[in-house]
Structure formats: C-alpha cells, structure tokens
Structure 1
Amino acid sequence: MNNGFLTVMGFTVRNKFRSKSFIVTSVILALLVIVGSNLPYIISKFQSGEASEIGMVAGDVAARLDQFYGSQEKAEVIVRQFPDQGSAAANEAAMKERISSGEIKGYLELGEMDTASGFPKVAYKSKATMDFGFTNKLQSGLQYVKNEDAAKGLPPATLQKLMAPVVIDNVQISTTDGGAGSVGKNGKSAEEVVIATGMVYILVIVLFMGVMITGQLIATEITAEKSSRVMEVLITSVSPLKQMFGKIVGMLIVGLSQILLIAGVAVINLTLPHNIDTLKDLNIDLGAIDPLLIVFAVIFYLLGYFLYSTLYAAVGSIVSRTEDLGQAVMPLTLFSLAGFYLAIFGLTTPNATYVVISSFIPFFSPFLMFMRIGLTDPAWWEVALSLAILCGTIFGLGWLSAKIYRTGVLMYGKRPTMKELRKAMKAYKV
C-alpha cells in the first residue's frame, strides 16, 4: 500500500474538508459546544440571585423559620411574617393578594397537628408549578424547627450535636493489585468519581458518534461511486484493497480532525475566567482528569473505529444503490446502538454482571471496557484480554471485509446473496 493508498487517502481527506456539509456540520457542532460550555454562565445572567420571599402568618414557627434562613451564609429563602386576619379564609385571601401584587412568591400554611410527627401539617401554595428544589429548601427549614421542638429541654451542646448532619465521604477503592485504572490503594474521592463519570459519558458519546458518522460516510461514498460507475474507472488505476483502506484511514483523519476541533473549542471555553469560577463552585477540578483515561479513550476509539469501518466498507461495496444502503447497514447500526446504550445504562452499575461479560464482546468492548476502566478498576488481565479479543476480531473481520470489498465493488444489480458472494470470493485471495 504505497502511492495508490496515499492517493486515495489524500483525496478522501481533501474532498471531505472542502465539502460544504463538513464545514457546516463542524461550525454547528462548535457553536453547540460554545453554548453548552457557557450555559451555566448564561443562565446565571438571567437569574436575579436574590432569595425567594414567602409569606407566613406571624407566630412561633414563622419566627424560628425566619431565624433559621437568616443564619445561613447565603439566604435562599426570606420569610415575611404578616398579622393574623382572624380566620383561615381571610388569611388565604390576604396571601393571594400579596402573591398577585408580586410581594411574595408563595406562602406556607400551617394546618392541624399531626399526632404521629408532633408537628402541624404544612402546605406551600404558589402560582408556580411543582418546584421540587424549592420545596426541599422549605422542608429543610421546617425539619430544623420540628427537631428543635422534639429536643426541648436538652442542653445546647447536645442539641447542636443532634442537629449536626452525618458526613459520609464516598471513596472508590481497588480490590485488585495492579488494576488498569488509577484508583490504586488510595482510591478515588467522590469528586474524582464525578469527574471520571462525566469524562466517560462524554467520550462514550464521542466514540459512538465517530463510529456512526464516519462509518456511514464510508459506506455512502463507496455505494455512490458504484451507482455512478465511477468505481469502474478507479479500479483500473488503484487496487480495491488500497481503495478500501485509503478511504478508511482518510475518514479516520477527517473524524479525528473534527473531534480535535470540538475538543479545542470546549477547552478554550471551559478555561474562560467565568467558567473556571463556576467549576470551582461546583467543586470540579479539570486538573483531576486522569491522563491514562484519555490514553485508553484514544486506544478504544481507534480500535472501535477500525472494527466498524471495515464492516461499513464491506457492506457499502455490495450495495449498488444508495437507496438500499440504510437497510443494508441496519445490523451494524443496531450493534453500535446496543454497545452505546449498554455503556450509558451501565454508568450507574459498572460492576454489573452483564457489563463485565459484555466488555469482552468485541462489538461492545470499545464502549464497555473503556467505561469500566474509567469508573472501576478492572484487573490488567481483563483489559489485556478484551484488547486481544478486539484486535483479533478486527484482523479477522478486516480480512473478510477486504475479500467482500474486492468482490463486491464490481458486482452490480440486486444485492448478491451469501451463496453468490461466497462463490465470487473464492476467486480472490487477500
């Protein structure tokens, strides 16, 4: 594979770089990354940042609730106390009027005493739809007041201990010696696990999109060349195998270039001053990203790409019309979708039996073994075995795809049956 291979590869790269679809797609993806990276900052500009004001009929519970929120470093709720109007109906009418005028967001209404909990039943009424986040904030304040009532008579020091929450540090440990991940004996903290999960989620999506898009492009281009009879001209100057692998490597360069462009845009935007502050507030340190995880991402991306791209090329070579291509590549699409969804669903249970077993199946291992490396700590032999099976499958399917491609590019008309294809393949050696 010398001049012919390089010629096909260079032509494929130049042709895609110059195409309007590639340029438009790259620009759209870059804009989406820019918006997504700056979305928290953009949302914050539309938020007032002020605490929400709610109303309550003046009383002991209202006063202590106001004291609880007032003692917070950054109060998220302000309790405004209003005089009792003499009846529940009058109080409700007065509160509704204050909501209508924009004076308060909503109001808390105390009902009958709940004998089981020893605290009145509480209802929060507002014009907004169910806001579970804000409801939880109200619940934490009311829980504090309720606990105070239950602990009356206790010394202040004991009450403080009783109210103090129990803090649990989640640490992921390794139970294997010499695991493939970076967990080691010290383990991963909760923050590191969150960062690793986010990285795995993003990279699994990138792998899936890269395999799907570039694979479809390879199959489409080959089928289009067959349907327009351009293939007959190309065959006379470049051998089928050089064509096939030239297109595959050329598309790989195109796909990696687009990924690097998007990654560069994301890094530039995430390192802007306002985004760095946001990440710090969320306790996210981009410096905690494990370089080994990036290395494995590149390895599994390349192997997954070559596994699927050779098959897409083979399928594209036996289809004579682009209209029939979608149906022909459907099995490959289903395989890649299955691997993607197994990895996404496995993010919460990376040690599940089905995840472990599927990580050794070559069509799924680029997604699942990479996910296991990022979130758990599989033994080195598990990673080595998965890579060995994957590489062996790529070699075997690559050889088979090369035979199919060499035979299929000159077979026109209806899609050949397996018997016809097998008979034609016997005439060629790869």
Structure 2
Amino acid sequence: MNRLGTVIGFTFRQKARTKSFIITTLVLALLITLGMNLPYIISLFKGEGAGGSNTTATEHQRLGLIAGNQTEVARQLEQFTKVQSNPAAVWVRYDSVQAPAMQQALKNGKLQGYVQFTEPAAKGDTFPKVEYVSVEKKPSPAVTTLVQTGLQEAKVKAIVGDKSLTSDQIREISTPVIVDSREVDSPSEGGGTVGTKEKETSTINYGLVYVLMILFFTSSMMTGNMIAAEVTSEKSSRIMEILITSVSPLTQMFGKIIGIFLVGLLQIAVFAAVVCANLMLPHNNAILSSAGLDLSQLNIAVLGYGLIFYILGYFLYAVLFAAVGSIVSRTEELGQAIMPITVLSLAAFYIGIFNIAAPDTIFIKVAGYIPFFSPTVMLLRIGLERASLLEIWLSLAILFASILFFGWLAAKIYRTGVLMYGKRPSFKELRKAMKAYKI
C-alpha cells in the first residue's frame, strides 16, 4: 500500500508540473473567462457598458421624475422603488423638463434620462400617459421592468383605491400569470385516466448538461492519453525493466491511473473556480438576469450524479488506455493503437450532444445502460429529469461491474504486455501470455 501511495504521489507531481499541463490549463481557463465575458466586452465596444453614460447595468441609474399634476402617481412609483432590494434606478424629482437644474444634470451626465407624466392619451382614461426619455441610449431591461411594474401597481391603486386592497393583493394583481406547458400521455384503450408528466426544464439546466458532457469528454481524453503515453514511453525507453524490480506491474498501473485521475480533478477544480469567479462579477449577474437565467434553478442532483459518473467513467476508460499502452513498444504506434477507445469516447459524446432534444427515445434509454456511453447519456437524462432513481442506480451498477471486469482484464494484459517488445502481439500471443498469470 505504501508503494502504491508512492507511485500515486510521484505520478501526480510529475504530471502536474509539466509545462504542457500548466499551459493547457491556463489557456482553457482564459478561454472560459473570455467566453463568459464576451457579451459584456461586446457591449463595451457598442457603448452600452462603462462607456458613454459612466454606468454599468447593475449600478443605480439616476433618473429624473417629472410629476406635473400627477403627484400621486409619482409618489407611488417612488415608494415602489424604495421597497425593492436592489432597484435599478434612483429617482430625482424636478418641476418640469425645462428646469435649469435638470438640464444641467443631463448635460453633465448626472442623469441618464427622465420619466414624464402627461395628460391621458384617450378621452375617459384616468391614468396619465408616461414617456421615458433617455440620453444617447435605450433603457436597460432592469430599468424598463422597474418602471413598468411600479406604474402597473400605481395604476391598480388608482383604479381600486388604497382602502380596498392591501399592498400584497395589489402586487398579486399586477403580477402576470405564468402559463407552464406539459405533455399529456394518450389514454389507454380501457378508458383509463389521462396521464400527465411535466416537461418543463429550465434553460440553465440545458446549459449545465452541455458543459458537463464537454468536460467529461475533454478530461477523459486528455487523462487517458496521458496514461497511455506514460506507459508506452517508459516501456520504449526500457525504464520499465528497472521499475518492475522494485514495484509490481499492477501497483504501477493503478498508481498511474489514480495519480493522473487526481491531476484531472485538479484541472476540473481550476475550471470550476474560474467559472464561479466569473459568475460573481456584477456585469455577468446582470446579463444572466436579463436573459432570464436563474442560478437557483440549477439541478443540484446533476452535479452530484455528474461527479459519480465522471469518476466511474474515467476509471473505465483509464484501465483500457493503460492496457493498450502496455502492449505498444513505440510511441509512434500509440495513436493507432488507442483509436478504438477514442472512437468509443467520441460516440458517447456525440450520442449525448445530438440527442439532448430527444432524451426519451428508445435508443437513448438503451444507451444509458451501455457502460461506454452511460456517463454522458445518463447525465443527459438526469439533467433533463427523464431518468428515474431505479434507472440511475441500475446504470451505475452495470458501469461499476464493467469497471471490475475490464480492470481485471487490463491488469492481466498490463502485467504481461509491459515486457513484450518488438511488434505488437497478436490476440493469440497475448492470450497465451495472460494464461501464465492468475489475478
């Protein structure tokens, strides 16, 4: 056990310090940061961000409020804004549009615009006409929502009166009705009741599934190639003949697999920290809100099961990469040797990505139980809330049993293959050599 820990620690330190790993991690982290901040960078070039009005989307904009003879409506709008936890605007009262103080504030950029109440647009209307005037740019979605919602509440109060309804009742009347969609199962021939099942999935969970599938594919491919290349390079340089005199081949194989697994986890932790840091930036919070994305709608179960499927999927592919790497004598032949495993990984990735809009087909349900495909396919079904608890655990059980079988097979291949030099052994030669060892 001590030797296994030594191999794990040595492999982890050796791979984590390589220039290729450090540069790849930094470049990918930079690309993630650039991608997450691209909308904000574009808005800066368009003059919608910090430039022009010297305000960002999350700052409190100073807006003028011209009440005229509608002082009660203006007061209701101000009162509504005060009770908001993070209002998008701060109101400044002025007597008229032509007030010198207001004109000077607009000129100096201290005001980004103003709201003016005029006479009702149609005869018989009691609520005034409202006009929003901004300086050099359109109002932000947050400001528009604040003004519309506040005036809607003021309109309800003006119609029904303050004494008839409470503030909560008025706010409930002002809130638009949200209509959810659902799919109805066809009734049975026996005249049974019509079954229903919810089909609503938040946009942010679709994005989470995409990210996790891409992360699994890239990480498993990078770490798998690292394992195969490490074994092949030691074998081709004859270092393997020295290593097996102090550490058994099985200890080497599992030590390398676990050590590189920790390297992969380190890289994922770096990416997760970069994503969280970017999500905490004020302008990204505003962009998520304007796009209707709510982080509170994230399906936490996807993250938990995603980690489990990532770990099991990694070990399934890792033992195969190690076994193939042990039977290759030259690094030039490695790419061709690991091609079948690469094709399996690509198939798992494309099956998940191309069927994200159809997670209930028979093909996807069956693929969820095939161990080479289940890490991505079951992640898709869990993220879109299409997999039952029984299906999830049955898929995990099959995947775990497959790891035990292929781990046992890879251990026999590795133990015999690391000392077989020359051309790649045929299956018949490999099977004869494997019979000499019992694991």
- TM-score scaled to structure 2, two decimals? 0.66
After superposition, residues 22-101 of structure 1 pair within 5 angstroms as: 22-48=21-47
Tell whether 2:326 aligns with 1:320: no
RMSD: 2.2
State the partner residue of 1:10: 9
Instruction: Note if contact 2:9-2:259 (Cα within 8 Å) is conserved in structure 1.
Output: yes
State the partner residue of 1:427: 436
Alpha-carbon distance, 1:243 to partner: 0.3
Tell whether 2:404 aligns with 1:395: yes
Alpha-carbon distance, 1:170 to partner: 4.4
Instruction: Note if contact 2:359-2:386 (Cα within 8 Å) is conserved in structure 1.
Output: no
- Counterpart CA distance in 2 for 1:342 and 1:17 is 31
State the partner residue of 1:342: 351
State the partner residue of 2:338: 329
Highest RCO, 1 vs 2 (Cα 8 Å, sep ≥ 6): 1
After superposition, residues 157-306 of structure 1 pair within 5 angstroms as: 169-171=179-181, 190=200, 192-306=201-315
What letter matches 2:276 in structure 1? V
Instruction: Note if contact 1:350-1:376 (Cα within 8 Å) is conserved in structure 2.
Output: no
State the partner residue of 1:55: none
Instruction: Note if contact 1:311-1:397 (Cα within 8 Å) is conserved in structure 2.
Output: yes
What letter matches 1:377 in structure 2? R
Q: Using the TM superposition, name which of 13-22 and 371-380 deviates more.
A: 371-380
Relative to structure 1, the CA distance from residue 317 to residue 189 in structure 2 (aligned partners, 3 Å threshold; closer, same or farther) is same
Alpha-carbon distance, 1:248 to partner: 0.4
Instruction: Note if contact 2:183-2:199 (Cα within 8 Å) is conserved in structure 1.
Output: no
State the partner residue of 1:383: 392
Relative to structure 1, the CA distance from residue 330 to residue 25 in structure 2 (aligned partners, 3 Å threshold; closer, same or farther) is same
Relative to structure 1, the CA distance from residue 308 to residue 174 in structure 2 (aligned partners, 3 Å threshold; closer, same or farther) is farther
Relative to structure 1, the CA distance from residue 42 to residue 224 in structure 2 (aligned partners, 3 Å threshold; closer, same or farther) is same
Gap runs ≥5 in structure 1: 51-165, 176-184
Instruction: Note if contact 1:223-1:320 (Cα within 8 Å) is conserved in structure 2.
Output: yes
Instruction: Note if contact 2:12-2:259 (Cα within 8 Å) is conserved in structure 1.
Output: yes
Instruction: Note if contact 1:318-1:415 (Cα within 8 Å) is conserved in structure 2.
Output: yes
Instruction: Note if contact 1:347-1:371 (Cα within 8 Å) is conserved in structure 2.
Output: yes
- Counterpart CA distance in 2 for 1:312 and 1:172 is 44
What letter matches 2:359 in structure 1? P
Runs of 4 or more consecutive aligned structure 1 residues displaced over 3 Å after TM superposition = 166-175, 185-190
Alpha-carbon distance, 1:193 to partner: 2.4
State the partner residue of 1:90: none
Alpha-carbon distance, 1:293 to partner: 1.0
- Counterpart CA distance in 1 for 2:334 and 2:354 is 30
Tell whether 2:415 aligns with 1:406: yes
Describe the superposition over 1:233-285 as per-residue Cα deviations: whole angstroms up to 9, x where unpaired.
Answer: 11001000000000000011000100110110111011101110110001111
- Counterpart CA distance in 2 for 1:351 and 1:174 is 14
Describe the superposition over 1:158-208 as per-residue Cα deviations: whole angstroms up to 9, x where unpaired.
Answer: xxxxxxxx9984446899xxxxxxxxx998785x52111100000000001
Instruction: Note if contact 1:8-1:247 (Cα within 8 Å) is conserved in structure 2.
Output: yes
- Secondary structure at the residue paired with 1:236? coil
- Secondary structure at the residue paired with 2:20? helix
Gap runs ≥5 in structure 2: 50-175, 186-194
After superposition, residues 115-130 of structure 1 pair within 5 angstroms as: none
Describe the superposition over 1:4-61 as per-residue Cα deviations: whole angstroms up to 9, x where unpaired.
Answer: 11111101100011111111111111111111111111111122459xxxxxxxxxxx
- Counterpart CA distance in 1 for 2:426 and 2:197 is 54
Relative to structure 1, the CA distance from residue 171 to residue 233 in structure 2 (aligned partners, 3 Å threshold; closer, same or farther) is farther
- Counterpart CA distance in 1 for 2:391 and 2:291 is 34
What letter matches 2:275 in structure 1? A
- Counterpart CA distance in 1 for 2:297 and 2:199 is 11
Relative to structure 1, the CA distance from residue 196 to residue 38 in structure 2 (aligned partners, 3 Å threshold; closer, same or farther) is same
Alpha-carbon distance, 1:3 to partner: 1.3
- Secondary structure at the residue paired with 2:245? helix
Q: Using the TM superposition, name which of 377-386 and 213-222 deviates more.
A: 377-386
- TM-score scaled to structure 1, two decimals? 0.68
What letter matches 1:358 in structure 2? A
- Counterpart CA distance in 2 for 1:172 and 1:369 is 22
State the partner residue of 1:370: 379
Relative to structure 1, the CA distance from residue 337 to residue 291 in structure 2 (aligned partners, 3 Å threshold; closer, same or farther) is same
What letter matches 2:249 in structure 1? P
Relative to structure 1, the CA distance from residue 281 to residue 18 in structure 2 (aligned partners, 3 Å threshold; closer, same or farther) is same
State the partner residue of 1:87: none
What letter matches 1:10 in structure 2? G
Relative to structure 1, the CA distance from residue 252 to residue 173 in structure 2 (aligned partners, 3 Å threshold; closer, same or farther) is farther
- Counterpart CA distance in 1 for 2:198 and 2:27 is 36
- Counterpart CA distance in 1 for 2:350 and 2:250 is 33
- Counterpart CA distance in 2 for 1:266 and 1:188 is 30
Alpha-carbon distance, 1:346 to partner: 0.9
What letter matches 1:352 in structure 2? T
